[in-house]
Structure 1
Amino acid sequence: MKRVVATFPEGKFKVLTMSYDDGRTADRRLVEIFNRYGIKGTFHLNGGLIGQGDRVTEEEIPELYAGHEVSAHTLTHPTIARCSKEQLVYEIMEDRKRLEGIVGYPVRGMSYPNGSYNSTIKQMLPHLGIEYARTVGGTGSFGLPDDLLEWRSTCHHNRDLLNLGEQFLALHKSQYLYMMYVWGHSYEFDNDNNWDLIEKFCKMMGRRDDIWYATNIEYVDYMNAFRRLQFSASQDFVYNPSYQSVWLKVDDERIVEVKGGTTTAL
């Protein structure tokens, strides 16, 4: 039997994703840096606070975050583990409605405000249309998430970012898949006067042939598409019922693209 394993798009085995909360105006500078180096980010916004204080306006959101992902962060940023179920439903669904009305696509992920969650909240999220939720903890490692509703990052950007980036770049064993996931708040670069940190990181990490640059939901969708593949018992061919391509490595030597809606020989 052939040995068939998943890869990221175009046969890559590393993915970088960035995740930033609250929708503050410093996102403008951060997005410009990401765009310059070909890096993608997920931006978690509070729909009920848009335009208030030092937050981006509704009018600028579609253009500002084009090519990135707008994700939920609850309507008003409460500590949701202290909220009633009724308030939780309201906070998430109203946030989704507000953001979806602005960006024009379904909002299917979130980050936990104040890092607050519990097992009851996790059980409720799929019923509220949420497919992933990021915590505030960091692992310091590059493994793929085991629980998308308790998605732990590699690090906050102030936690040894450049050293971890160098470790990530040095990974070369393609029998594994690796993820570097960085989170934070863009206004922290103003507060800490360290915009040079994210500039150096993005310059070091950006536009590399061996890294897939993805938003949070792009990663989720791709891995779901892989899991939906329908293999023959012999693994001589595979059917892809999804709309998007999935790439496979066959017998440790060939990269095969399985296009959406097709049956492909392996």
Structure 2
Amino acid sequence: MCLILFAYKHHPKYPLIVAANRDEFYSRPTAPAQYWSDDPHILAGRDLKELGTWMGITVHGRFAALTNYRDPRQHTSDALSRGHLVANYLKNQQSPQEYLEKISKQADQYNGFNLLVGDLQSLWYYGNKQGQIHPVVPGVHGLCNHLLNTPWPKLEKGRQQLAHCLMQEDDFEDELWQILTNGEQAADDLLPNTGVGLELERTLSSIFIESPEYGTRSSTILLIRQDRWVTFVERKYHSSKSSWQESSYEFQLEDHLL
């Protein structure tokens, strides 16, 4: 997943609002969001190559999401799959902080990543490039391919648009989809230099990415209401952002916590 916009304890009715895009090579096989047959308490899409995921939630309210840290100079081909960082948390019983403390001791086995993990009590962040574990404070936040709230153009645009649409009390879901499908690229003088070249930096600077081999494969909206009612909607794209397969789930979080 390459862009996660989220509001934590910011909206009066929704303690957690997430609007996220997963960017990946079109050739990588992926299953749409569903309850996993081998772990039916997990709701998430699934990478069919490594059997991990980029974002998911459990019926008990455990949540996790991941972005990659872009630095091709430090990428190694034999690193462990980062998708298991999300999947293993969703399968786990450790608190968010305890899980990240465990992961931090294994961080050098993975290419660069940013990881959000939480439950009904708290939300935590860890990135293995920065190496610090800390709780997420209430507010509107964003993660793309650097650190939490790094002011890259698309992240700043997304945060501002999310904050604006959440000024409404309800009925902002359509606006979230509009944010996630914005294909406008940033001006060259605002682009970061991550070592991939100017042309690719331009392509990757839009919230919704389209290119011949790589782009936004899915968009996901997650809403957790104060009364523990969850809405989880994923749009898995086909040939373009105007053609998608939608997976939509609503459920009440179970009282028993893992």
Report the TM-score when normalising by structure 2: 0.31
Higher relative contact order (CA 8 A, sep 6+): 1
